[in-house]
């Protein structure tokens, strides 16, 4: 779910560059806050999570690679127009597993929780109707994002709008959409895993590396 709905994409010599403007709507941020409600996250962890969940859409690094096929799994999208949904789902699962492992390899602190936030971004995008079709917990079709989709005769194919898609809005009539609420529930389950991982590490350190 892209909080920058309506942000223009500049085309120059075949490269895509996002020009992030100030947006009044919070999407990922609101979903993440709903997810951590009642969990024992301190202010530093919450701040890092928000930075991480925003990073793929608004950070310099995220913007520089946002148009490349290899970056699409982090947004729960097909890398290429010809990529099958099955391969795209495997790529997303691989991204989540790899990013989570990298986060756990970091010492507890802002960098770890920012990485957890980047996992949340992908997870939350996987509930946006602009990114894919779901049948409960099963992804039936993952969509593609790119300028050439505007030129193709897609017929009945429903791809992510370019450059933005109004279905990425997390709000309807002032409340989170059903899809956004589902994304928050999934995000909460992931945060519970992240917290358990940290508790397990603390127990291990207390047992074997205590001062």
The tens digit of pLDDT for each residue in 85-98 reads 999 999 999 999 99
pLDDT per residue as tens digits for the range 14-39: 212 233 454 567 889 999 999 999 99
197 is written with which tokens? Answer: 């991982």
pLDDT at position 203 over 50: yes
Q: What total of structural domains would you count in the chain? A: 1
* Domain that includes residue 13, residue range: 9-208
Contacts of 79 (CB under 8 A, 6+ apart): 69, 70, 72, 73, 88, 91
For residue 171, tell me if it sits in a domain: yes
In a domain, 4, yes or no: no
Quote the mean pLDDT of the chain.
81
**Domain for residue 203, yes or no?**
yes
Q: Among 32-41, 132-141, 200-209, which stretch is predicted with the lowest mean pLDDT?
A: 200-209
Instruction: Tell me if 31 is assigned to some domain.
Output: yes
Q: Is this structure's pTM higher than 0.85? A: no
153 or 186, which is more confident: 186
* 1, part of any domain: no
Mean pLDDT across 53-65: 75
Asked whether residue 22 is domain-assigned, the answer is yes
Assess if residue 3 is contained within a domain.
Answer: no
Helix extents (H) in the chain = 28-36, 43-58, 60-65, 85-105, 110-125, 178-208
């Amino acid at each position: 779910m892209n909080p920058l709905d309506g942000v223009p994409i500049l085309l120059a010599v075949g490269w895509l560059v996002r020009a992030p403007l100030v947006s009044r709507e919070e999407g990922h941020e609101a979903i993440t806050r709903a997810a951590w409600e009642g969990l024992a996250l301190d202010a530093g962890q919450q701040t890092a999570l928000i930075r991480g969940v925003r990073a793929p859409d608004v950070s310099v690094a995220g913007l520089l690679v946002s148009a490349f096929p290899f970056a699409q799994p982090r947004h729960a999208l097909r890398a290429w127009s010809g990529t099958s949904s099955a391969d795209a789902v495997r790529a997303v699962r691989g991204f989540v597993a790899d990013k989570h492992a990298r986060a756990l390899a970091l010492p507890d602190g802002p960098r770890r929780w920012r990485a957890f936030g980047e996992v949340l971004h992908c997870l939350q995008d996987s509930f946006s109707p602009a990114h894919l079709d779901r049948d409960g917990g099963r992804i039936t079709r993952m969509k593609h994002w790119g300028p050439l989709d505007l030129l193709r005769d897609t017929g009945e194919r429903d791809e992510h709008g370019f450059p933005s898609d109004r279905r990425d809005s997390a709000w309807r009539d002032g409340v989170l959409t059903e899809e956004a609420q589902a994304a928050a529930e999934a995000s909460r389950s992931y945060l519970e895993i992240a917290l358990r991982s940290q508790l397990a590490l603390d127990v291990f350190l207390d047992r074997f590396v205590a001062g």
